[in-house]
Structure 1
Amino acid sequence: MSIAISIVAIFILIVLSAFFNGSETALTAASRARMHALEEDGNSSAALVNRVLSRPEKMIGTVLLGNTLVDVFAAALASNVAVNLYGEVGVAYATGMITILIVIFAAVLPKTYALAYADRVALIVAPPMRGLIYILTPFTKAIEYVVRNLLKLTPGKADDEANILAAHEEIRGTIDLQAKEGTVAKGDAEMLGGILDLGDLQVADIMVHRTKMETVNADDPPAKILDQLMKSQFTRVPIWKEEPENIVGVLHTKDLLLALSRTGWAPETLDIMKSASTPWFVPDTTTLKDQLNQFLKKKTQMALVVDEYGEVQGLITLEDILEEIVGQITDEHDNPDSHIRMQSDGTVNVDGTVAIRDLNRHLDWDLPDDEATTIAGLVIHEAQTIPEPGQVFTFHGYRFEILRKSRNKITAIRIKSLAAATASATGSPPAGATQPKTARG
């Protein structure tokens, strides 16, 4: 191959590399809502964008494979040309030159443009990308098969079922990047992140704990049960017999009022259990994504959560899962949320039962929720003891003061962000570094 042909081939390969990088950025950053609207209007390119994004792991796999191939070929051709011109030292020249060309013209430039005009670029690249995905699918499948079998030879088993070439982290990184740059609003970024988290969270992470469940006793007089339901803010309430953990049904106020109307509005003649529906029990290890699908399939909006021993641990509703995506949902019957109380001195008083995820989302904090679900659970986990009122602990860059305790349950905590306090005192933005863990009684 002549030097001129090799240079033209290198140019073509760099253009292809730019295409792959720009396509990946544009497709992952494109507005799904706008693409859906355009598809509804008959835009065939938007339909292709939605089809490509419906299987993001295939798109990412195609990009990785195609980009690697063209970059390797470009480097090989550049080395061959440089060796013919300058001898063995030409390899060093080729390496430096091809690196600069790929970084500037095949990575930074196309990604920057694609990020700025994501929707426009996505509509342009979707048709050829769809064709490349179809052509390269056998190769990406073969790579995935080889990698999976190699992972089975490793001591650990956690990675054997990993989704090779998955786009989960790629999409999350794109969302975080655009949120930091102001391209995506904070609320939109949180909703997108909430959707990605559905597969990682379990129902136990967001369920209403059994100690906070509102239930009724089936053995109470019907008039008393009716009074409880009328005073409740919920339309569905579990009903129990003999002991609170023995849930035997779920009462819906609409069903109960319908049954009451058939008795001539005489509560004393009402058979409560005939109006109760069969309770639905789900394991506490069920992922939110699976539970959401089950809610939609069964057309039911409440489930009782049980542990491995079959004991009721709490309940979860469709609204609880939706709130992980869109944030707190309230209506005219909801009580004002006073579990998180901002103080004039910059501290925050919270109930011990407040979920760490809710506090992080409410205050834009970054407290870890890997080892505990609630704030009280986090304090107990870090302190390795059940603290007493007045004790103060500092970890993860926050100061925790125990305000109240009932038996072995922490009921109120005062929290202060040390980074925010330092920034307020110095006039500089909060530092991202966490504080060393200390504790004092």
Structure 2
Amino acid sequence: MSTLDEFSIGFLLSLLLALIAMSAFFSGSETALMALNRYRLQHRANSGDKSAKRVAKLLERQDRLIGIILLGNNFVNILASAIATIIGLRLFGEPGIAIATGVLTLVILLFSEVTPKTLAALEPERLAYPAAWVYVPLIKLLYPLVWGVSAIARLLLRLLGVDPEHAAQHSLSTEELRTVVAETGAMIPRRHQAMLLSILDLEKATVEDIMVPRNEIVGVDISRDWADILEQIQSSHHTRLPLYDGSIDDIRGIIHLRRILGLLTNQSFNKDTLLEQAREPYFIPEGTALNQQLLNFQNQRRRIGFVVDEYGDIQGLVTLEDILEEIVGEFTTDPSTRMRHAKPNGDGSYTVNAMTNVRSLNRAMQWSLPSSSARTLNGLILEQLEDIPEPGTQLKLLDYQIEIETTKANMIQQVKLTPPKTKARSKRR
């Protein structure tokens, strides 16, 4: 203190201003470095940006970085307080101590804390990258002191049950990734955002949610006459057809029509030859998540599989295209294909096959029928009514008006469905 008394008021004020500026640097750079987008930083570092690499290396050991920042910040703040006290004593005597304390507190708060930290939070890269040029040599210069402070800090954290190494990991959950994608705004086109979100949603859906039910599987019954089999193969709209013997539960293989096109005109082509060209069927346990099944298809080099329950009974059929459509939407824009299960009636309503998969219907028609429980429209209605309805029965699911048109035995065959938006437009007209 006595050494500082020898300097003039002007020099002490200049030194005080310099210390306040240094305090602002430490406070602002700390906020900027902690507020950096880690994924953008890593991308820039991987792209060869030297400044980004320097900052990324600093952030690998946050305990050391925070240690050097706090050492510097506390040092300059304490020294600034001592100098302000001397200036107050010289100018105002004993009351100057209180005056200096009050003024310095306000100045540090405004110019060394609030302003630089706000700027750093708004534009972290603007402050973080230049600050790295200061901190890298400073950490090397004061390494023994920084190492000692960091070691004590890590010990205290472990006593509190916190593992610094584990806490430093920046992994995101699925829901957090959804938020990141949703907040990208115009940086990612809306359609691409929808695709990314659909990929994340694959783990929430299972193969049963998108499979073709067993009663709708189109295949070739090899127990029938050879002429009927040939006619079915030649008129098929599918590239791959299951081969079964009498019942779909007795699957004999999968035939790719392109492999047998050249054999159709061959007089020696028969059932045995057809079975020789078939590939072994591929079975999928029910409950398999779509993201896992997508990988399974890739690993097994398959495009089609049969969903089986715990007893080995076939429940339905799933193709690679079905899973991809969950991500990108319907592959075709042909209205006749998109509306194969929902035919417009001209009054804003649609005639819908009740066995249609709800998720497929929502995707094709841009509807939002509930699909969390029942998989088909028939199941959804039965779940709501808790009884087999008679034709003419009407109900409302969310804002969708549904009228039962035809039933058969224990299931609904066909319904008339009026979606809310179409219904609203009809009223305005």
TM range (shorter): 0.5 to 0.7
Task: Write out per-residue CA displacement over residues 11-32 of structure 1, whole angstroms, 9 at most, x where no aligned residue.
Answer: 11122234x24x55x589x9xx
- Normalization by structure 1: what TM-score? 0.62
Task: Write out per-residue CA displacement over residues 325-353 of structure 1, whole angstroms, 9 at most, x where no aligned residue.
Answer: 22223499x96742123444333432223
- Return the letter of the residue paired with 2:316: G
Residue 188 (1) aligns with residue 192 (2) = yes
1:296 to 298, 303, 327: 298
Q: Is the 8 A contact 2:222 2:271 kept in 1?
A: no
- Normalization by structure 2: what TM-score? 0.64
Is 241-250 or 356-365 further displaced after alignment? 356-365
Tell me what 1:126 maps to.
none
Q: Return 5+ residue gaps in structure 1 as ranges.
A: 36-42, 49-58, 114-137, 148-162, 428-441
- Using the alignment, how far apart are the partners of 1:382 and 1:86 within structure 2? 72
CA shift, 1:258, in A, is: 5.0
Describe the shift of the 1:418–1:319 C-alpha distance in structure 2 as closer, same or farther (beyond 3 A): closer
The 5 A counterparts of 1:109-148 are: 142=163
Tell me what 2:328 maps to.
326
Tell me what 2:181 maps to.
175
CA shift, 1:234, in A, is: 1.2
Task: Write out per-residue CA displacement over residues 104-149 of structure 1, whole angstroms, 9 at most, x where no aligned residue.
Answer: 64556669x9xxxxxxxxxxxxxxxxxxxxxxxx99x9579699xx
- Using the alignment, how far apart are the partners of 2:360 and 2:270 within structure 1? 43
Rg comparison, structure with higher value: 2
Task: Write out per-residue CA displacement over residues 400-423 of structure 1, whole angstroms, 9 at most, x where no aligned residue.
Answer: 222322222222233334466558
- How many residues align? The count is 346
Residue 235 (1) aligns with residue 239 (2) = yes
- Return the letter of the residue paired with 1:252: H
Q: Is the 8 A contact 1:223 1:268 kept in 2?
A: no
Residue 165 (1) aligns with residue 171 (2) = yes
- Using the alignment, how far apart are the partners of 1:142 and 1:383 within structure 2? 54
The 5 A counterparts of 1:275-286 are: 275-286=277-288
- Using the alignment, how far apart are the partners of 2:251 and 2:415 within structure 1? 32
- Return the letter of the residue paired with 1:299: R
Q: Is the 8 A contact 1:17 1:106 kept in 2?
A: no
Describe the shift of the 1:109–1:361 C-alpha distance in structure 2 as closer, same or farther (beyond 3 A): farther
- Return the letter of the residue paired with 1:6: S
Describe the shift of the 1:173–1:269 C-alpha distance in structure 2 as closer, same or farther (beyond 3 A): closer
Describe the shift of the 1:221–1:281 C-alpha distance in structure 2 as closer, same or farther (beyond 3 A): same
Describe the shift of the 1:342–1:170 C-alpha distance in structure 2 as closer, same or farther (beyond 3 A): farther
Describe the shift of the 1:299–1:182 C-alpha distance in structure 2 as closer, same or farther (beyond 3 A): same
Q: Is the 8 A contact 2:209 2:359 kept in 1?
A: no
Secondary structure in structure 1 of the residue aligned to 2:402: strand
- Using the alignment, how far apart are the partners of 1:396 and 1:341 within structure 2? 21
- Using the alignment, how far apart are the partners of 1:424 and 1:182 within structure 2? 34
Tell me what 1:15 maps to.
32
Is 350-359 or 269-278 further displaced after alignment? 269-278
Tell me what 2:217 maps to.
213
Describe the shift of the 1:418–1:325 C-alpha distance in structure 2 as closer, same or farther (beyond 3 A): closer
Q: Is the 8 A contact 1:260 1:266 kept in 2?
A: no
- Return the letter of the residue paired with 2:205: L
Q: Is the 8 A contact 1:259 1:270 kept in 2?
A: no
